Amino acid sequence: MAIRIDFTERGKEFMVNIAVMFLIAVSGFLMAISYYIMSTLETAFRSVDCLIPQNIYFTTCQEWFNMALYPVLELKSLFIFASYFFIFGVVFGLFFMGFRTKKHPALLVVHIISSIIIGYLAIEIGNIYRLLISNTFMYDIMVPFAIYNKIMLFLPQFMFFIIFVSGIIGFMGVFKSAGQFKQGNEDLG
């Protein structure tokens, strides 16, 4: 009797993890650029002051900006938290990838190969990030994102740790499910 393994499901999961790793780098830059634009706009609007004649609600532009514009521009801090939640989503996805390997021991080999590829890509993305952050303009943009900067500067080590823990989860799951099947507890695996 031949054992059939459906690698298409695993392949989709692997490609999603690769895409998410690229998105963690791109999303951080997009969020940082949005944060920088909102900060620059707020600074520019605070430097403008004008009179609004014949208005019963506002007498100056600053009063109008305080009421309508500044509350929206203060939402820029949400970009920082969004980048943290996105990183958490990547970590959770990689842990889930390790958890899913318990369905079949051959998937552990697929997990190891995909981990090597993800590790190599993490080294490349980390090097690209170091190159980009050496530019003073990009450095100024990325300053408010302290945790994101630390993770991206140490992305290979970060990904290695996450992949290592994910592999341990998968390794223990494979042997746990194999032990349950030997004991006759098929309904638990």
Q: Could you tell me the pTM of the whole model?
A: 0.67
For the chain, 189 residues long, give each residue's pLDDT as a single digit of tens: 454 545 555 566 667 667 767 777 787 888 889 899 999 999 999 998 888 888 888 888 888 888 888 898 888 888 888 888 878 877 787 777 667 666 666 667 777 787 788 888 888 988 999 999 999 999 999 888 888 888 888 988 888 888 788 778 777 776 665 555 555 555 444
Residue whose entry in the numeric block shows the structure tokens 């958490």? 88
Domain spans of the chain?
20-181
